[in-house]
Amino acid sequence: MSQVTVRLPDGSSRKLPAGTLVSDVAEEISPRLAQAALAGVVDGKLVDLSYPLERDASVRIVTDKSPEALRLHRHSAAHLMAAAVTSLFPGTQCGIGPATDEGFFYDFVVERPFKPEDLEAIEQKMKELASQDLVYERQMWPRDEAKAFFAERGEPLKVQLIDEKTEGETEVSCYTIKDKETFIDFCVGPHVPTTGKLKAFKVLTASSAYWKGDARNQPMQRVYGTAFLSDKDLKAHLTQIEEAKKRDHRKLGRELGLFTFHQWAPGAAFWMDKGTALYNTLANYMREVLFPAGYVEVKTPLIYNKALWERSGHWSFYRPNMFLVESEGEIMSLKPMNCPGHFLLYASDVRSYRELPIRFHEQTPLHRNEASGVLSGLTRVRQFSQDDAHCFVTQDQIGEEVERLIRLVQRVYGDFGLPYTAKLSTRPDEFLGEVATWDHAEAQLKAALDRSGMAYDLNEKDGAFYGPKIDFDVTDAIGRKWQCATIQLDYMQPENFDLKYIGADNTEHRPVVIHRAIIGSFERFIAILIEHYAGAFPLWLAPVQAVVLPIADRHLPYAGAVRDQLEGAGLRADLDRRQEKIGYKIREAQLHKVPFMLVVGDREAETRTVSVRERSGGDKGASSIDAFIASARDEIARKGKRSDGASELPAAS
């Protein structure tokens, strides 16, 4: 019998008979490893434990500790779910069932949509199948036989998949759970060896999806579930889902009196006074950041003739998302973006190289006619404003400008206590302009990222067709990622709009445009902040920073004077003048997450002080009004950070 040499991760190697299974290798190393083994990695490829080793190879055994384990579990759980569904609902057709970042799903064609009771039944059935510790078996079927088999079983979608995925092959791989009567699926695998390995899974929701995600195809029922390596991890995940629900900005926005919606203005928020205070604080903060960075604030029209959109190219590719209006027979559109307006503004005067970079910052509202089904709270709206700006630079200024931008991004996210990551997207296969120009631009972006000392991912070929870009993702307090900042180079629009500057050589040159936003849309960023802080904004952002709480009516004059003094000092202050006990007023203020409660009664009125109660931290004792104002202003100026730069905010979890 011939032998194969198996190399192990520790550098050792063993000679074993050809055809030895991965599971045998695990057994050979140690019985305990064999017990824990879920799959193998042979020459870098993830395979089943039942994979036979026919030639020399490096082998690694996958266990719960391996990075592949989670996806393996989830994909196997998807099969287990499909087995449960086909058992409970005979005649169900199966589509695809992949693992995802959060869990897994499986698409089915069923007679009627699933109800919550069905999902419970499915989960029960899965548990039952798991407890039976059934084997996942890989079988190689002749292609035609497999197609005939699935066709006969009334699974045309599987036949279609086999056709598409295995063209030119003679055999296709299928996986059974127990046997082909119980469950069989066309699948590359691999899987965990038996259903008993799956110990922590949950069926979550059902909704509809289309075959291959295309609305022209047949609608299917998608059942989502999640699986983890331990009950502890699963529980943590479910708790996280609950936590996310508690922080939902739509719920907190109403409870905190920030904003509301009306069915007659779908996708457009009504900002109440407190929400407006927050909005304005953000908008002014961005102005404070951008003015010293060389930006000028501009306001350009909200409505433009269709001619502009034809020039910019929006008319041909963005029209479905534009709100059109008619005036005296002319078709106009509300602007979905600021760029074309900024180009017209740039072109309204002769520009010299001495002026560049020119940086136009604008916060006026934009309108995008998003499909009704994608609207969601403040995160997906039809009307919003951005901390939008366009920088007009020379080719050689790109690197420095981008580096300045990265520093701005770092500063802003630092002020909000949001961790972030960056990714650089380079030239796609279909692109506009010269390869040399792209290479030059990409090199400058890379150099700028390197100089900034930031770690970043490379997204090859993911740039826009008009230029490369850098995107930033922030991670909120409960670990969710949001794309906010973007820095995009644009070579196309300066051509379209024939933008020029006069160079040092006294001839005309083409500037490069950098589209950039740091927080993106104020609406969406506020949603992120609400959920990040769980509604408990740091002092500098809080819509109401302090509320004065008089003990009894006779303290109202003094309380009013305190409130006036706070407002005079630039603080956002309220006065609770209701005839209620102090505990009631405090409870109310706590629920509204006001950072400071200032209790005033006889003692305070006499000594011209306030009793400070902190939202987090309770009673801080008496303080003179001036001392309170001074410390509050200091905290606002520091934006909640200690003087060493670290954040005082508790890690909300």
Choose which of 140, 324, 325, 552 interacts with RNA (CB under 7 A). 552
CB closer to RNA out of 498 and 580: 580
Secondary structure letter of residue 50 according to DSSP: T
Which pair of structure tokens corresponds to residue 55? 């030639």
CB closer to RNA out of 393 and 527: 527
Choose which of 208, 239, 284, 624 interacts with RNA (CB under 7 A). 208
Does 151 sit near RNA (CB under 7 A)?
A: no
Secondary structure letter of residue 455 according to DSSP: -
Stretch that binds RNA, among 19-27, 85-93, 262-270, 322-330 (CB under 7 A): 262-270
Does 101 sit near RNA (CB under 7 A)?
A: yes
Choose which of 165, 246, 411, 481 interacts with RNA (CB under 7 A). 165
Q: Which is catalytic among the residues 94, 174, 187, 339?
A: 339
Q: Which helix or strand (DSSP H or E) is residue 393 part of?
A: strand 388-393
Please say if 339 is a catalytic residue. Answer: yes
Extended strands (E) in 57-193: 57-62, 93-94, 104-109, 136-142, 171-177, 183-186
d(CA 446, CA 436): 15
CB of 628 to RNA, least distance (A): 13
Report CA-CA distances (Å) from 632 to 576, 612, 623, 626.
Answer: 20, 11, 12, 10
CB closer to RNA out of 184 and 571: 184
CB closer to RNA out of 42 and 408: 42
12-18 contacts: CB < 8 A, separation 24 or more? 16/53, 18/53, 18/54, 18/55
Q: Which of 532, 492, 539 is nearest to 513 (CA)?
A: 492
Choose which of 261, 360, 491, 501 interacts with RNA (CB under 7 A). 261
Choose which of 9, 91, 98, 142 interacts with RNA (CB under 7 A). 98
Task: For tokens 């230029």, name the residue.
Answer: 467
CB closer to RNA out of 17 and 98: 98
Residue 588 CB coordination number (10 Å):
16
3-class DSSP state of 133: coil
CB of 184 to RNA, least distance (A): 11
Please say if 75 is a catalytic residue. Answer: no
CB 604 within 8 A of CB 551: no
CB of 233 to RNA, least distance (A): 19
CB 516 within 8 A of CB 542: no
d(CA 303, CA 324): 9
Q: Which is catalytic among the residues 380, 469, 516, 585?
A: 469
| x/- letters, 565..604, toward RNA (CB under 7 A) | --------------xxxxxx-xx--xx-----x-xxxxxx
CB of 314 to RNA, least distance (A): 20
Number of residues lying near RNA (CB under 7 A): 69
Choose which of 212, 287, 440, 451 interacts with RNA (CB under 7 A). 212
Please say if 484 is a catalytic residue. Answer: no
CB closer to RNA out of 265 and 296: 265
CB of 465 to RNA, least distance (A): 20
d(CA 52, CA 49): 8
Choose which of 58, 63, 87, 100 interacts with RNA (CB under 7 A). 100
CB of 620 to RNA, least distance (A): 8
d(CA 588, CA 612): 16
CB closer to RNA out of 225 and 377: 377
Report angle CA 489, 493, 495 to the nearest 5 degrees: 115
CB of 549 to RNA, least distance (A): 8
Does 553 sit near RNA (CB under 7 A)?
A: yes
Stretch that binds RNA, among 130-138, 179-187, 337-345, 458-466 (CB under 7 A): 179-187
d(CA 310, CA 496): 10
Stretch that binds RNA, among 51-59, 164-172, 462-470, 480-488 (CB under 7 A): 164-172
Interface positions, 333-392, toward RNA (CB under 7 A): 371-377
Secondary structure letter of residue 134 according to DSSP: -
d(CA 544, CA 279): 13
Q: Which is catalytic among the residues 48, 388, 471, 476?
A: 388
CB of 595 to RNA, least distance (A): 12
Does 481 sit near RNA (CB under 7 A)?
A: no
3-class DSSP state of 118: helix
d(CA 485, CA 375): 21
Q: Which of 359, 464, 445 is nearest to 402 (CA)?
A: 445
Does 172 sit near RNA (CB under 7 A)?
A: yes
Does 562 sit near RNA (CB under 7 A)?
A: no
Based on DSSP, count helices (H) and strands (E) in the chain, helices before strands: 20, 36
CB of 135 to RNA, least distance (A): 18
Does 160 sit near RNA (CB under 7 A)?
A: no
Does 252 sit near RNA (CB under 7 A)?
A: no
CB closer to RNA out of 170 and 579: 579
Contacts of 584 (CB under 8 A, 6+ apart): none
d(CA 247, CA 250): 9
| x/- letters, 213..232, toward RNA (CB under 7 A) | xxx---x--x-x--------
CB 357 within 8 A of CB 397: yes
Does 210 sit near RNA (CB under 7 A)?
A: yes
Please say if 388 is a catalytic residue. Answer: yes
d(CA 209, CA 217): 10
End-to-end CA, the chain: 59
Please say if 469 is a catalytic residue. Answer: yes
Stretch that binds RNA, among 20-28, 205-213, 299-307, 332-340 (CB under 7 A): 205-213
d(CA 196, CA 76): 11
Choose which of 13, 124, 131, 205 interacts with RNA (CB under 7 A). 205
DSSP alpha helix (H) spans, 534-607: 556-568, 582-591, 602-607
By DSSP bridging, strand 20-21 and strand 573-575 are unpaired
Measure the CA dihedral 196/201/207/208, to 10°: -40
CB closer to RNA out of 448 and 566: 566
- Residues tagged active-site: 339, 368, 386, 388, 390, 469, 515
- Interface positions with RNA (CB under 7 A): 75, 96-101, 113, 158, 161-162, 165-166, 172-173, 185-188, 205, 207-210, 212-215, 219, 222, 224, 250, 254, 261, 263, 266-267, 371-377, 551-554, 579-584, 586-587, 590-591, 597, 599-604, 611, 613, 618-619
